[in-house]
Amino acid sequence: MTASQIAKSLHGIRAGKGFMCRCPTRLHNHADRNRSLSVRESKDGWVMLKCFAGCTRDEILAAMGLQIRDLSLNEFKRNPEWEQRKTDREQLEILERRHGLFIMLQAVEPGKRNYWAAAERNTAVEIADLRRKLYPVEAYYRRRQERVERIIAEYGIDELWNCLPERIFQ
């Protein structure tokens, strides 16, 4: 959909490079006497929506019965990498909930504590793998922190402190 098509459906008027329209959300249902919704086309082929009364883009689209892909002036192509990240984030959320459930089940079912502890450990490994995949920079810093802690535990802080060159303290 183009900006002019959206503006026409919302009884908008031309304003500069775009249009000013009455916002269709429930918040403004009867009270939007002033046009508070700006609709314009960006250089990269998207229709931009901005409600100056504070409505979000998703609220505006829901009120109009549109989806985000309807704002693209070009043919909408799915990005498989983005789709995979979205699926991985959803899977991570499910695993984190399952991990918490397994921790609770260890306390609730004392007869099966070993079983639920093993299930919790396996889920924790899956979570760690998925987090490394989704957030590689965070994983790098976590590994670096683990190495530092291991070195401190092995040599002791006093011995490491004595290894520092004197020029650092000047």
SS (H, E, C) 133-146: HHCHHHHHHHHHHH
In this predicted structure, what is the pLDDT of residue 103? 92
Question: Is the model's pLDDT at 137 over the cut of 90?
Answer: no
This prediction has a pTM of 0.46
Q: In angstroms, rounded to a whole number, what is the distance separating the alpha carbons of residues 93 and 128? A: 12
Range in 30-34, 47-51, 92-96, 135-139 the model is least confident about: 30-34
In this predicted structure, what is the pLDDT of residue 167? 58
Q: Kindly state the tokens that stand for 78.
A: 């799915």
In this predicted structure, what is the pLDDT of residue 169? 57
Q: Is 48 in contact with 20 (CB distance < 8 Å)?
A: no
Three-state DSSP state, 165: coil
Residue range 22-66, pLDDT digits in tens: 888 877 665 566 788 899 998 878 899 998 888 888 888 988 888
Q: In angstroms, rounded to a whole number, what is the distance separating the alpha carbons of residues 52 and 7? A: 16
